[in-house]
Amino acid sequence: MTIRNIAILLFFAVFTACQPSGADQQKQEKEGTAADSLRYPQEVHLKNVHQLTFGGDNAEAYWSFDGQYLSFQATNEDWGAECDQIFYMPAAGYSGEKPPLVSTGKGRTTCAYFMPGDTAILYASTHLGNEACPEVPRSVQGKYVWPIYADFDIFVANLEGEIVRQLTDSPGYDAEATVSPDGRKIVFTSTRSGDLELWTMDIDGANLRQVTNELGYDGGAFFSPDSKKLVFRASRPKTEEEVELYKGLLAENVVQPTNMEVFVCNVDGSEMQQVTNLGKANWAPYFHPSGERILFASNHHTDSGRQFNIFSIRIDGAGLQQITFDDAFDAFPMFSPDGKKIAFSSNRNNGGTRSTNVFVADWAE
């Protein structure tokens, strides 16, 4: 899922705000921002909130194994990224005019994740099918949709941006890949079996296995801290009308993201369990370091559906708690490997623009 898609869901027009360089803006923040002014009073689990990007659309910031770096995707014309491209930066923020580019700068990319050893980054890209930024369909059959680009394949690049391995070459959508904490497995979403299902493979791309097999969009999966479970978002069309609509849209390489819930299962797909039953869009789930709770983004609490915040819930579906309180958009909660920090993306402190930026905070229980 792209940052641009998120903006559409919020009915924001995507554009790049005119901002100072990262280094200049971070200096201004350090010199002129009161301690924790980026945190809302209700956000009791967040401390020492710092903004790492300033302008454009930046999201899906994932930690390196050593907790020192973040990979993320960004659309920012000032960086030469007309649609989502992959960058990485220190967890304290980048220096200079822009962070290092990891992807090719061609096509559209998504979901970057550090490989074991932190010398390479996994991501999906459409550049082999078309080097131009693909069009983003907003409405199909009168329905708001996300694109499922058939050109997406999964690649591994070193930190200099050189592709060192292509992990998928099957026709159709292969994307949304993440790596297990033990460094042994990759989970990703694919249409290779005819539906949007979760698959796993070994870290070298071998030993492909299908995890889910129920009709609907299964995506955005992450491993539990012990690498034994998966948490993911899913749509589950049930009625004849819902099934017909889902299949018709998928045939046009799009899906509706407006009704999704959070699920967990074992890595092999057994013990499947629906965690949320909140309605609307519940997505971007990530395990709490304890493995007993899940953080996720949701708009279930607003009538308009335009406001997203981060929530916490136990894996048994109890104990729902709101974590963030921005009045526009908070999502993509990601704990550092040691569980002490959390990265997330937000529209807060964007100077009245529509930019989405990456933030890091200390986590307080």
Q: Over the stretch 294-331, which tens digit does the pLDDT of each residue have?
A: 999 999 999 998 899 999 999 999 999 999 999 999 99
Collapsing DSSP states into helix, strand and coil, what is residue 29?
helix
User: In this predicted model, what pLDDT tens digit does every residue of 216-266 receive, in sequence order?
Assistant: 999 999 999 999 999 999 999 999 999 999 999 999 999 999 999 999 999
Q: Which amino acid is at 45?
A: H
More reliable by pLDDT, 16 or 3 = 3
Phi, psi of 121 (to 5 degrees): -130, 135
Cα separation, 224 vs 212, in Å, equals 17
**Domain count of the fold of the chain:** 1
Place of tokens 């803006």: 25
**What local confidence, expressed as pLDDT, does residue 20 receive?**
38
**CATH number of the domain within which 202 lies:** 2.120.10.30
- So what's the pLDDT on residue 5? 52
- Note down the domain range covering 126: 3-363
Contact assessment for residue 39 and residue 27, using Cβ atoms and an 8 Å cutoff: no
* Predicted pLDDT of residue 85: 98
| Model pLDDT for residues 121-170, shown as the tens digit of each residue | 999 999 999 999 999 998 998 889 999 999 999 999 999 999 999 999 99
Mean pLDDT, the chain, whole residue set: 92
Q: Backbone phi, then psi, for 61, in 5-degree steps?
A: -85, 115
Among candidate residues 231, 177, 165, 182, the one with its CA nearest the CA of residue 208: 177
For residues 252 and 129, what is the distance between their CA atoms, to the nearest angstrom?
Answer: 17
pLDDT tens per residue across span 26-36? 544 444 456 68
